[in-house]
Structure 1
Amino acid sequence: MAAQYEEIARDLRERINSGEYPPGSQLPMMRDIAATHGVSDITVRKAFAVLTQEGLIYSRRRAGTFVREHPDRVRLTVRHRQIERDELGYYSGPEVQHWRALPHPDGEMTRVTEAPVPADVADILGCTVGDVLTVRKRLVGDPNNDSHRQLADSWIAAWVAEEVPVVTGNTGAGGMYDRIEEWAGRALVWREEASARMPSPAEAEALNMPSKGVPLLRLVRVTELPGAAEGEPSRVAEVQDIRMNAALFAAGYPLNRGASATWPVTPATSDY
């Protein structure tokens, strides 16, 4: 049997999803909901906490509780993930060509520092969790839209920092990727993984998004330098941890045919 707060949350959820409480509308006062259901304010507060965590509602100090514009009702901006280039250097998709570096909340632009590498990034780079690496932290976005922005932390492999030391400072025109390609004399290649998680308070502040109820879209882009000779393995040069508001953005990728799906295909012999 569901707890009372879960029943209240379900009732409010159904009313929100049906449009009885449309986006932007204010929910009844907590004491009124409590009186309707014959429960305490604490029980209603628990129900509100559930819906806040789901991203359906949010509170305004001294104003009340309101219905949020939910991601499934918003036409997300699809970020087509491909590497493009213009006079400024490489950028990741046509939707962001006009984006530029923005100051962090403390006014600083690109932060270049040394920090312990996170576990998942360490696994990709082939180093030990907690190893201290150079990381370049940037806030990038649309200069004309305060909500269209992303955080991007570039974790630089130790061998790159040693052999191409300019990447740990002012990289100049074209940035880090141009410096690595100039040093190596060959092209970099990229791959990317997408996931989601909730933002930290600092991430939510930097991205101008709620700290509760709305997840981050996280894209982990891996930069590799192919081997110089045939058969020589590639080396991971950098891992970039990109985070943006999942209520505003989706990532779009082409789905390539694998070798087993090369056209013309063999007729299928069974149903799903």
Structure 2
Amino acid sequence: MPNGPESREAPASRRIAEDLRKKIDQGQFAPGQKLPSQRELAGFYGVVRNTVDEALKILGQQGIVTSQWGRGVFVRENKPLLRLGSDRYSPKYREEGLSPFLLECSKQGKSGRFQVLSVERVRPDKELAERLKVSDKGKSVLRRENVFWADQDPVYRVTTWIPWTLAEGTGLLEEEVPHQFGIHGVLEEKGHTVVRINDEVSARMPTPDEVRYLELLQGVPVLDVLHTSLDAEDEPFEVTRFVMRADMNGLTYNAPVE
């Protein structure tokens, strides 16, 4: 195997994957560049094409390369991240006249939009009911589900729950919330301004449903952010789950240490 990996302990497919990853890390293959064909790689490494195919699958699962039908395998490009920040609800941004998501898109010269999946009154499970301090015995919350887009890329799958006592009779029941600051603009008019947030963040691989809605490529994980808004009385009034493409999103927090 000329110029191949030195290790002989791992299977050939894994050794080839490690060697290709090293070449990518060293810049021999740049982001967005097409890799040599499977036939060329098989000849270079002295193996059959099935072994190369397994190596490329390993790199795909690691999120290093992407396969494009009929075109080949490409090094994944690093896209600018949309930042979900701890100050995204700050009044200092009100002069911009944009909701938090549209403001972040604007900073990067992107056009933001959303696709409404559902708006309905539902019964919360016990955990959600405890978070919002509502009953789990009936349909005590409004649930809104959306997919947010930046230009042509779906970037968040968002589910928001609001106590029905706050949502009833407001623009929150409409598909497109009639307020320039979105959901939080309506809630502020109801006397609930975000004073403190509680975000619980984890990383995981996506569900098949999330792969479909976010158009995720193989090997791309998601960031799962469970957010709770609290008002001046330290009372929760909104819970939102952000399922975010990890290849296009980041988190930025600037908070005092208590």
Query: Under a length normalisation based on structure 2, what TM-score does the superposition of the two structures give?
Result: 0.71
Are residue 52 (structure 1) and residue 60 (structure 2) matched?
A: yes
Gaps (5+ residues) in structure 1?
Answer: 228-233, 259-272
Are residue 80 (structure 1) and residue 85 (structure 2) matched?
A: yes
Task: Answer whether contact 1:101 1:139 (CA < 8 A) is retained.
Answer: no
CA distance in structure 2 between the partners assigned to 1:44 and 1:120 by the alignment: 47
Q: What's the secondary structure of 1:47's corresponding residue?
A: helix
Q: What's the secondary structure of 1:166's corresponding residue?
A: coil
Q: What's the secondary structure of 2:145's corresponding residue?
A: strand
- Residues 1:115 and 1:198: Cα distance change in structure 2 (over 3 Å): farther
- Residues 1:181 and 1:94: Cα distance change in structure 2 (over 3 Å): closer
CA distance in structure 1 between the partners assigned to 2:129 and 2:218 by the alignment: 28
Structure 1 moving runs of 4+ over 6 Å:
97-101, 126-129
CA distance in structure 2 between the partners assigned to 1:177 and 1:136 by the alignment: 13
The CA RMSD over aligned residues, in Å, is 3.8
Shift of 1:154: 0.4
Are residue 147 (structure 1) and residue 120 (structure 2) matched?
A: no
CA distance in structure 1 between the partners assigned to 2:101 and 2:24 by the alignment: 36
% of aligned pairs identical?
A: 25
CA distance in structure 1 between the partners assigned to 2:219 and 2:237 by the alignment: 35
Query: Under a length normalisation based on structure 1, what TM-score does the superposition of the two structures give?
Result: 0.68
* Count of residues paired in the alignment: 238
Task: Answer whether contact 2:147 2:154 (CA < 8 A) is retained.
Answer: no
Task: Answer whether contact 1:199 1:211 (CA < 8 A) is retained.
Answer: no
Are residue 6 (structure 1) and residue 9 (structure 2) matched?
A: no
Are residue 113 (structure 1) and residue 116 (structure 2) matched?
A: no
Identify the residue that residue 193 of structure 1 maps to in structure 2: 200
Deviations 1:150-185 (A, max 9, x none): 3321023xxx214542356136435544544444x4
The one-letter amino acid of 2:51's match is T
- Residues 1:206 and 1:163: Cα distance change in structure 2 (over 3 Å): closer
Q: What's the secondary structure of 2:224's corresponding residue?
A: strand
Task: Answer whether contact 1:80 1:93 (CA < 8 A) is retained.
Answer: no
CA distance in structure 1 between the partners assigned to 2:30 and 2:106 by the alignment: 35
Shift of 1:40: 3.1
Shift of 1:6: 0.9
| Alignment equivalent of 2:33, drawn from 3, 25, 33 | 25
Deviations 1:194-251 (A, max 9, x none): 33333445545544x5431223333322122454xxxxxx443221112333223322
Are residue 169 (structure 1) and residue 180 (structure 2) matched?
A: no
Shift of 1:52: 0.4
Shift of 1:123: 7.0
Are residue 35 (structure 1) and residue 43 (structure 2) matched?
A: yes
Gaps (5+ residues) in structure 2?
Answer: 1-8
Identify the residue that residue 265 of structure 1 maps to in structure 2: none
Shift of 1:80: 3.3
- Residues 1:115 and 1:61: Cα distance change in structure 2 (over 3 Å): farther
| Alignment equivalent of 1:95, drawn from 104, 109, 117 | 104
